[in-house]
Structure 1
Amino acid sequence: MTANTSPIAVVTGATGGMGTDIVRDLARTHRVIAIGRNEQALAALSAIPSVETRQIDLQKTARFAEIGAGIDRIDVLVHAAAIGDHVSVENATEEVWLDALTTNVVAPALLTRALLPQLRAAEGTVVFIGSGAGTKPVPGSAVYTASKHALRALADVLRIDEEQHRIRVVTLAPGQTDTPMLRRGASGNHYTPERYIQPSTVAETVRTIVELPADAHITDIALRPRQEIARL
């Protein structure tokens, strides 16, 4: 990929609801390394000329070094991968806690560390896809809420630590978005997709972040449905 002069973006969760749209949108202007687990979805993305796919389980952190191999710079890193079942403290096993924290917090931290040399070389932008659960408690969802609080803290400290290298670090926190993960957690007839944010809107917001002029830095974006679901 080094022969091409287009900016390079790395997107995790590329086969998820938001990640797929983010990959497709960034591919219009970037060479995108799309990381996901679903083989069929990755195959569809690989049909886009500017997309290179990698089938990687983010819990296999030893593979992170290969993502940046042979690449001198990375302009954009989007952490869109997440798992988010609603589990309370009472019901969460140790395995549930470790799976969620590894995927939602540890993997983004270690992947960012693995790609820091390339991000610094590009004065790049790191986007953490957070959640409204990263700023307030969600009843019955201790595991997911704790992981998203931790992810926002990770982003805030990374921003300070990498300021000298001019890396921009952004937490983009969408509200309820029409994704398979949200549908799985919905209860029957109460799911109304037209009320929710579309994944393409999240992708457009990522583009706004990426295309921000070099003299400015967005740190946090709360992207909410036009009508707040909690008030309906």
Structure 2
Amino acid sequence: MGTHLITGAGSGIGAAVAARLQERGDDIWLLARNAQRAELLRRRFPGCQTLIGDLAVPDRLSWALGQQTQPVRLNSLLHIAGMVELGGIGDLGTKVWNETLAVNLVAPAELTRLFLPTLRVSRGHVVFVNSGAGLAAHAEWGVYAASKFGLRAVADSLRAEEQANSVRVTTVYPGRTATPMQQKVRAQEGLPYDADAFIAPESVATAILTALDLPRDADLTEITVRPGR
């Protein structure tokens, strides 16, 4: 039985991963933006532990987490939370850039830094749920893609730095997945949303758990998940 800290467990891929881990008897710690959302998570996942920290304000994460009881053992840190705002480079100002980079890039890097000592003791695993936009940038996706390209760099550097400590690092690149974020994207694109046209969150969760459960003689460093239809 392992202990896992998950961001983004309120919906989509994060919720699917949290459910799968809890169903098999693992301990889950869920990061919430505020006390109200933490209470909602505890109701949805009875028996879970919660931590409160706002990914939109990464400078405050160290202080916020320092005021709370933290896991003494951690088998994995799962970065699944994220945000997206579409728009042209010539249209989106610094507010969108700063918010997107804070949530998608700086906060995961800071959380990793804060929990690395615990992960090292447990020879744990850091999973970054990235995006197809972390491999190729398209029109109107520049801000989001920049944050995901940066996240890939964080993962690659971390993997090289922590190899001697036996901390495994995996990046998962899902294609379009049936999540509330995808609903927002389709609305911004002016297109209809049909959940059946996209990857199920549970399928991405299966890929993540496969990486977590892989025997120590092998390592899944990158996983690309694409729609099968």
Q: Please, what TM-score do these two structures have when normalized by structure 1?
A: 0.88
In 2: Cα distance, 1:169 partner to 1:154 partner: 10
1:74 aligns with 2:71: no
Unaligned runs of 5+ in 1: 1-5, 228-232
SS at 1:158's partner residue?
Answer: helix
The one-letter code matched in structure 2 to 1:93 is G
Equivalence for 2:13: 18
Q: How many residues align?
A: 222
Corresponding position of 1:7: 2
How big is each residue's C-alpha offset from its partner over 1:73-131, in whole Å with a ceiling of 9 and x where there is no partner? 21010001111111221111111101000110000001000001100001101000000
Contact between 1:73 and 1:117, CA under 8 Å: does it hold in 2? no
Structure 1 SS opposite 2:19: helix
1:45 deviation in Å? 3.3
Q: Within the alignment, does 1:94 sit opposite 2:94 as a pair?
A: yes
Contact kept in structure 1, 2:57 and 2:102, CA below 8 Å = no
* Residue aligning to 2:130: 130
Correspondence for 1:213:
215
- Could you report, residue by residue, the CA deviation over 1:117-148 in whole angstroms, capped at 9, with x for unpaired residues? 10000110100000000011121111001111
Q: Is the 8 A contact 1:33 1:53 kept in 2?
A: yes
- What is the Cα deviation at residue 204 of structure 1? 1.6
Equivalent position SS for 1:186: helix
Letter in 2 for 1:217: D
Dislocated runs of 4+, deviation >6 Å = none
2:48 to 35, 45, 51: 51
Shift of 1:55: 3.5
In 2, distance between residues paired with 1:8 and 1:224? 28
- Measured in 2, the distance between the counterparts of 1:12 and 1:214 equals 24
Q: How does 1:49-198 map to 2 (within 5 A)?
A: 49-61=46-58, 62-64=60-62, 65-66=65-66, 69-187=69-187, 190-198=192-200
Q: What amino acid is aligned across from residue 80 of structure 2 in structure 1?
A: A
- Give per-residue Cα distances to partners, 1:193-223, cap 9 Å, x unaligned: 1110111111122111111111111000000
Q: Distance in 2 between matches of 1:137 and 1:63?
A: 29
Unaligned runs of 5+ in 2: none
CA distance in 2, matches of 1:67, 1:14: 22
Q: 2: distance between equivalents of 1:181 and 1:46?
A: 22
Residue range with higher mean Cα deviation, 34-43 or 142-151: 34-43
Measured in 2, the distance between the counterparts of 1:63 and 1:134 equals 25
Q: How much does 1:40 deviate?
A: 6.3
Give the RMSD, CA atoms, in angstroms.
2.0
1:50 and 1:200 map into 2 onto residues whose CA distance is 21
TM-score (ref. length: structure 2):
0.89
Question: Residue 15 of structure 1 contacts residue 37 of structure 1 at CA under 8 Å; is this kept in 2?
Answer: no
Partner of 1:35: 31
**Structure 2 SS opposite 1:190:** coil
Inter-CA distance 32–15: structure 2 relative to 1 (3 Å threshold): same
Counterpart secondary structure, 2:82:
coil
Query: Between the two proteins, what is the percent identity of the paired residues?
Result: 35
